[in-house]
């Protein structure tokens, strides 16, 4: 049987075992206290499996039938489903023993109710016999909930693979999800946000989306050391509220066009308008609540409200909405990741600053950032400006008993972001410290268009900072000071070599060998993929070799 047929078979087997667990739980009186919780989880997973099968297998133009989907993505789907099958192996053995695995009709969304009713009837007729020989440890509350948690992790990973498939297909015109936002199908399998982000990247802002008419209240900005600040914004109706603001300087071309009122002035302002609209419309799942695995497709960032143009100051201001759970006290605690590391590294007053995070908390920070970068790339974007100065630490709505884990890392600095497939300007930037976060061929005068591995490299530098709990600025202080004085960047390969040396020598004792190896992969782009599927191949390999490694540390 080919991989397509094998995968369809595994889906049906997983579906049947899930149905068996649901049916048996319904008849076990001892489960009454947690029955509703377990049944809801099982119902969700059953519907997910059927929606996934319906969209990715059952139609003639479904992705799993497409020659455009590379074999390793199809194999990844098979591996995930086989892992899910192994997660349910003990329950499958019981179901098989009582002849409850075979189905004459392949389940789908249309016949789900009919098959579900028939299957439950079959379980009920055998429930007494099953109970006499049942290993009751299988239906212990903690055992089932733990199994369902692992089940959910695998279906979450499946969601990520599906988003990569959509990225490969690119054109929704020949794909059933082209009307998914209207039909609700993508929402049913948790892909609505990904589909929307991919679609928005190819769309233009509507005519009515323009410059905000309000203004920033003078002197209200806080959060020093970052281009992103908390400020008070007064809108055109004189309503005042707190927002995050991000300052974006005009490019040299825009400065010149503004000064001399050149004909291309408005055209040069289109990119920032498009970016503001995209970040305004895109859905960012607000599952950033401190629960590490609560949102497999989450992007830890802020929702854009719009933008203000300030030609007199030669800049644009992007405005972002604070998380809904924000309190006035919370905004006083906001700090960038860079400043958090810097202050604790220098032994600041523990009564006024966050403490150095525990090992588990540092793994959480690394996990949240890796997940965000993966999902940015899966949505068809590149960020282009990842560094610890642009990561804002925000209080979580779910306090933890560990103070440092009460904070979530939000990625800002979207001013240079674009679609992976879009063109790029090779604009020079010779500021010293920012170049320490850039891939060697992107330092100073870029020698290549921006690619996903350049984001991953920058992420690797931030992961190094988190692991060592030292900033690039402090690690390379003498070099940065000398280069700044001379107005000349160090050789790119020297920077990369010294970052790798820090990763290999310092990280194993701090974060373990696996974390150190993951950071090294980021800095060396060691993702072992061919050129034929560079973006998706690197993204898939990044998930396996970096995100999965970091996820293991969440248990610490």
pLDDT-based confidence at residue 348 (cuts at 50, 70, 90): low
Domains of the chain, first to last: 3-200 (no CATH), 215-555 (1.10.510.10)
Which has more pLDDT, 58 or 325? Answer: 58
468-483 per-position pLDDT tens digit: 999 999 999 999 999 9
Residue 186, pLDDT score: 67
Sheet containing 315-321: which strands, arranged edge to edge?
Answer: 215-216, 228-234, 240-249, 315-321, 303-310
pLDDT in tens, 92-111: 998 888 887 766 556 676 66
Rounded CA separation 554/4 (Å): 34
Q: Coil, strand, or helix at residue 162?
A: helix
Coil, strand or helix at 88: coil
Q: To the nearest whole percent, how much of the chain has pLDDT over 70?
A: 81
Does residue 323 have a pLDDT over 90? Answer: no
Q: How far is CA 524 from CA 235, 319, 462, 479, 528, in A?
A: 47, 35, 14, 22, 11
Q: Which of 151, 531, 202, 543 is nearest to 375 (CA)?
A: 543
Q: How far apart are the C-alpha atoms of 417 and 420, rounded to whole Å?
A: 9
Is residue 109 within 8 Å of 54, Cβ to Cβ? Answer: yes
How confident is the model at residue 400, as a pLDDT?
55
User: What is residue 528's predicted lDDT score, i.e. its pLDDT?
Assistant: 66
pTM, whole model, 2 decimals? Answer: 0.86
Eight-class DSSP state of 555: G
Q: Which has the higher per-residue pLDDT, 447 or 395? A: 447
Burial 126-157 (b: 16+ CB within 10 A, else e): ebeebeeeeeeeebeeeebeebbeebbbbbbb
Q: Compute the mean pLDDT over every residue in the chain, rounded to the nearest whole number.
A: 83
197/470 Cα distance (integer angstroms): 34
pLDDT at residue 414 tops 80? yes
**The pLDDT of residue 19:** 87
Per-residue tokens: 484: 């700044």
Task: Say how far apart CA 496 and CA 401 lie, in whole Å.
Answer: 38
C-alpha 203/C-alpha 221 separation (Å) is: 33
pLDDT band of residue 289 (cuts 50, 70, 90) is: very low
């Amino acid at each position: 049987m080919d991989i397509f047929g094998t995968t369809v078979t595994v889906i049906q087997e997983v579906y049947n075992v899930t149905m068996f667990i649901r049916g048996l739980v319904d008849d076990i009186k001892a489960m009454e206290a947690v029955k509703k919780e377990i049944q809801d989880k099982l119902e969700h997973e059953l519907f997910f499996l059927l929606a996934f099968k319906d969209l990715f297998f059952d139609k003639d133009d479904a992705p799993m039938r497409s020659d455009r989907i590379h074999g390793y993505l199809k194999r990844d789907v098979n591996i995930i489903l086989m892992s899910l099958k192994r997660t349910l192996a003990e329950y499958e053995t019981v179901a098989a023993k009582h002849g409850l695995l075979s189905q004459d009709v392949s389940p789908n969304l249309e016949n789900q109710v009919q098959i579900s009713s028939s299957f439950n009837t079959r379980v009920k007729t055998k429930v007494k016999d099953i109970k006499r020989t049942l290993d009751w440890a299988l239906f212990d509350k903690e055992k089932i909930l733990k199994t369902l948690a692992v089940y959910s992790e695998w279906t979450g990973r499946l969601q990520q693979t599906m988003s990569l498939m959509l990225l490969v297909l690119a054109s929704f015109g020949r794909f059933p999800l082209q009307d998914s936002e209207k039909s609700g199908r993508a929402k049913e399998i948790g892909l609505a946000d990904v589909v929307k982000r991919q679609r928005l990247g190819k769309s233009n802002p509507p005519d009515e989306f323009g410059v905000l008419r309000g203004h920033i209240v003078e002197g209200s900005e806080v959060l020093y050391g970052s281009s992103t600040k908390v400020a008070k914004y007064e809108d055109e109706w004189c309503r005042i509220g707190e927002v995050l603001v991000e300052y974006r300087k005009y490019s040299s071309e825009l400065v010149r066009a503004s000064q001399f009122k050149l004909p291309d002035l408005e055209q040069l302002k289109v990119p920032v308008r498009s970016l503001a609209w995209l970040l305004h419309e895109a859905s960012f799942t607000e599952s950033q609540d401190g629960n590490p695995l609560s949102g497999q497709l989450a992007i830890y960032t802020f929702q854009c409200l719009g933008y203000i143009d300030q030609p007199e100051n030669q800049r644009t201001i992007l405005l972002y909405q604070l998380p809904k759970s924000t309190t006035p006290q919370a905004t006083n605690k906001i700090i960038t990741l860079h400043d958090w590391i810097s202050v604790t590294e220098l032994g600041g007053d523990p009564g006024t600053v966050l403490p150095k995070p525990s090992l588990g908390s540092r793994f959480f920070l690394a996990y949240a950032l890796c997940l965000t970068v993966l999902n940015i790339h899966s949505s068809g974007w590149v960020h282009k400006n990842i560094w610890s100065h642009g990561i804002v630490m925000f209080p979580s709505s779910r306090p933890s008993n560990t103070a440092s884990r009460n904070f979530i890392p939000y990625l800002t600095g979207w001013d240079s972001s674009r679609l992976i497939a879009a063109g790029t300007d090779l604009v020079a930037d010779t500021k010293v410290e920012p170049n320490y976060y850039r891939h060697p061929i992107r330092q100073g005068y870029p020698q290549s268009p921006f690619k996903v591995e350049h984001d991953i490299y920058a992420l690797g530098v931030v992961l190094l900072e988190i692991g060592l709990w030292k900033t690039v600025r402090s690690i390379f202080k003498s070099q940065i000071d000398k280069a700044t004085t001379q107005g000349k960047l160090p050789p790119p390969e020297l920077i990369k070599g010294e970052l790798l040396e820090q990763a290999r020598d310092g990280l194993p004792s701090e974060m373990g060998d696996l974390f150190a190896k993951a950071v090294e992969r980021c800095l060396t782009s060691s993702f072992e993929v061919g050129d034929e599927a560079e973006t998706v191949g690197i993204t898939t390999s990044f998930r396996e070799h970096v995100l999965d490694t970091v996820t293991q540390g969440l248990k610490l």
